[in-house]
Amino acid sequence: MAINWFKYSAPSTFYGLAGKLVPWFAWPAALLFCVGLYIGFFVAPTDVVQGEAYRIIFIHVPASILSMFIYLIMAAYAALGLIFNTRLSAMMATALAPTGALFAFISLWTGALWGKPMWGAWWVWDARLTSELILLFLYLGFIALQASIEDTRRADRAGALLAIVGSVNVPIIYFSVKWWNTLHQGSTIKFTGTSMHIAMQQAMFTMLVACWLYVIAISLVRVRSIILERERNTQWVKELAEIKQ
Amino acid sequence: MNWAEFFAMKGYGFYVWGSYGVALLVLLLEIVLVRHKRTITLQQLRLMRDVGDEE
């Protein structure tokens, strides 16, 4: 069966598709959050070194991973919009930015609450922490820049450039623990295997998938509002059932 | 294990629940804001339609 993907790159078709997809991501996300937290708090054992405080990683690590991934996806959408002038990809980039900023914030916040009992400091100017803070500022800069330009086409282009240039920061965050002597520990899960207890891995992985699904669901809902706003003068929007009623 | 012991997290309760509490709050706030945005957008579009009808 041949699917015409271009059909779904039209905001008018994507609007309906996105609406149908939302519950398929939102409900599994809610379920997996419950499963992940259950495993994380009731199945996973206490850490020998870090005691109970280590349980913060079940939200800290997924939030941090996603804050980086969302940025790359946002930059990729922005680049697509810039190169091919596709309206929908620019809208997707705009829809992803606030969620990315929130995950970067959660990463920093939970990191501070873990750092205080473990390192004795809420914050240190360590390479990992500093580059993650810059990521948060890049998200906020992207949002502010787009909001400050009245003409949406120009706002998209300016935002896209910022997003693309800023993506250089993502590998810096990722490799910071290898390149520099950081207080932040290196990753426990490597491609070569891990020393982590199996229940801890399951909790972290479940929470990661839950966060992914959440991000997809929330950005689909957000992009639907953006589509309506930007296409408000078109006939298909005027003929929508939710507008006509 | 009783609940008081569970919430105490062996002395790390403030840090653990401070992390999860704020994360939950942030996500719930985002859900409320995104849904609010949709309601507002639809209202505006209906308003635009009504104004258009009068012309």
**pLDDT confidence of residue A220:** 97
Backbone angles phi, psi at B2, to 5 degrees: -95, 170
**pLDDT confidence of residue A243:** 82
Tokens of A46: 């206490």
**Cβ–Cβ gap B20/A116 under 8 Å:** no
pLDDT greater than 70 at residue A171: yes
Please state, in angstroms and rounded to a whole number, the distance separating the CA atoms of residues A58 and A53: 11
Cα torsion B5, B10, B15, B21 to 10°: value is -20
A15 contacts chain B (CB < 8 A): no
Backbone angles phi, psi at A183, to 5 degrees: -70, -35
Nearest CA in chain A to B40: A225
Of B10, B15, B42, the CB nearest to A116: B15
Tokens of A28: 């599994």
Higher pLDDT, A144 or A47: A144
pLDDT greater than 80 at residue B31: yes
Reported as a pLDDT band with limits 50, 70 and 90, residue A49 is: confident
pLDDT greater than 90 at residue B1: no
Nearest CA in chain A to B50: A244
Give the sign of the dihedral formed by CA A123, CA A61, CA B27, CA B23: negative
Please state, in angstroms and rounded to a whole number, the distance separating the CA atoms of residues A143 and A147: 6
**pLDDT confidence of residue A4:** 65
pTM (2 decimals)?
A: 0.93
Among A38-47, A98-107, A179-188, B17-26, the least confident range: A179-188
ipTM of the complex: 0.91
Name A194's bridge partners.
A189
- Per residue in A12-27, pLDDT tens? 999 999 999 999 999 9
Please state, in angstroms and rounded to a whole number, the distance separating the CA atoms of residues A111 and A126: 12
**Max Cα–Cα distance, chain B, nearest Å:** 70
Reported as a pLDDT band with limits 50, 70 and 90, residue B55 is: low
Reported as a pLDDT band with limits 50, 70 and 90, residue A5 is: low
- The mean per-residue pLDDT over the stretch A49-70 comes to 94
B36 contacts chain A (CB < 8 A): no
